[in-house]
Amino acid sequence: MKPQPKPYILGIHAYVPGKSSSSDGRPLVKLSANENPLGTSAAALAALEEARGQAAGYPDPDAKALRAALAKHHGLDADRIVCGTGSDELLNLAAQGFAGAGDEVLFSARSFAVYDIAARRCGATPVEVADKDFAADVDAMLAAVTERTRVVFLANPNNPTGTWLPPEEVVRLHKGLPDDVLLVIDEAYVEYCDPAFQRIGFDLAAGADNVLVTRTFSKIHGLAAERVGWATGAPEIVDVLNRIRGPFNVTVSGQKAALAALGDEQFVIDSRTHNAAERARFVEAISALGNHGLSAVPSEANFVLVRFEGDLKAEAALAAIAEAGYAVRHLPSQGLGDALRITIGKSADMDRITATLRELCGETA
């Protein structure tokens, strides 16, 4: 006899992170995890330096200063905010708090791999709904809701496709859900969108009892190493997450760095501007290879899903890009065998990737 793991836990395929080295062990420039190519704001780095001397003490369990700053910055109520060890923790807690054995957790196909894990971790049944044009299909999602559905996850913008559901579609999804189904809107990449569209989740969460919006400091704020995420929703939802989260779930350095990063608006603007310009340039270069079967899925995020439907296959492109020194993401397990997800990096790196693809297509400059 030995300890028997729960069968639903054995049903989980552990999250596979983006690569940072080639198969022969060479280090690669990582364009596989949607990290910020501009690094981290100088203010946040200074805060990290300051936190180095404070390793012996526990962090503030309620991240009060950070929550107050987030509330002020976004015009929210601090009592409606909970911080997490990355937004990853909060996504898992949302599933655990509201779903369990016999319940269903709904999400779109070709969406964030963590939703399936979050559903299985609490013994619930993950239900994947077919997407449409690489984006969540609101009609199909609503049609898939049953009396067992407890939680619906929506990544907006979506990872790994980069597509974005406009505000009226998010509202339509929410309107069509029963009041007792929790809609979790995962906005890890929303800061890369036009600022005019960034409040849709907040507005919904402010006016409904069944919406939770998650955000992260991992992407545009360049603090993935510190593991800081946060969520806002009705006080009753936040209360549930507070009951089951780790009591000291955000480190001293994470809280301080996030607070400083939030105050460095210029870094966010610079990151968004760099991303928009480089993404447009990259998409144009891919479109110019359209006669070779390459295309870019329209992206509102800091990465582009490039499809390979001609003689050049995604596997061959992946190998050549690795040979050139870059790790990008191939996700055949998510039904994306003919595509690569490429994070928008520095200008010179995007030039190298583009040159590699042009060369593979026989379009030498």
Ligand X SMILES: *Cc1c(COP(=O)(O)O)cnc(C)c1O
Give the residue with the Cβ less far from ligand X, 178 or 335.
335
Q: Is 298 exposed, middle or buried (0-12, 13-18, 19+ CB in 10 A)?
A: middle
Q: What angle, rounded to 10 degrees, do the helices at 252-263 and 64-74 form?
A: 20
Smallest gap from residue 216 Cβ to ligand X (A): 3
The interface region with ligand X, picked from 21-29, 81-89, 126-134, 244-252 by CB under 6 A, is 81-89
Minimum CB–partner distance for residue 351 and ligand X (Å): 25
| Cα gap 313→32, rounded to integer Å | 18
- Which amino acid does the sequence have at 316? A
Smallest gap from Cβ 84 to ligand X, in A, equals 8
The pattern of x and - marking residues 199 through 228 that bind ligand X according to CB under 6 A reads: -----------------x-xx----x----
Q: Which residue is nearest to ligand X (CB)?
A: 86
Site residues for ligand X, 157-176, by CB under 6 A, read 159
Selected range binding ligand X among 39-47, 86-94, 140-148, 239-247, rule: CB under 6 A? 86-94
Does the protein bind ligand X through residue 37 (CB under 6 A)?
no
Q: How far is the CB of 186 from ligand X (least distance, A)?
A: 5
In whole angstroms, what is the distance from residue 254 CA to residue 44 CA? 9
Q: Which residues within the stretch 119-158 sit at the binding site for ligand X (CB under 6 A)? A: 155
Which residue from 29, 97, 105, 112 is in contact with ligand X, where contact means CB under 6 A?
Answer: 112
CA 363 to chain CA centroid, nearest Å: 34
Residue 308 near residue 320 (C-beta atoms within 8 A)? no
- Determine, following the binding rule CB under 6 A, whether residue 186 of this chain makes contact with ligand X: yes
Write down the least CB distance from residue 328 to ligand X, Å: 15
Which 3 state secondary structure label does DSSP give 305? Answer: strand
Instruction: List binders of ligand X among 218-277 (CB under 6 A).
Output: 218-219, 224, 229
Q: Phi and psi at residue 232, in whole multiples of 5°?
A: -130, 140
Q: Which is nearer to ligand X, 185 or 260 (CB)?
A: 185
- Residue 134: which residues within 8 A CB-CB, separation 6 or more? 110, 158, 161, 162, 163, 297, 305
Residue 5: Cβ-neighbour burial (10 angstroms; 0-12, 13-18, 19+)? exposed
Helix, strand or coil for residue 195?
helix
What are the residues binding ligand X (CB under 6 A)? Answer: 34, 86-88, 112, 155, 159, 186, 188, 216, 218-219, 224, 229
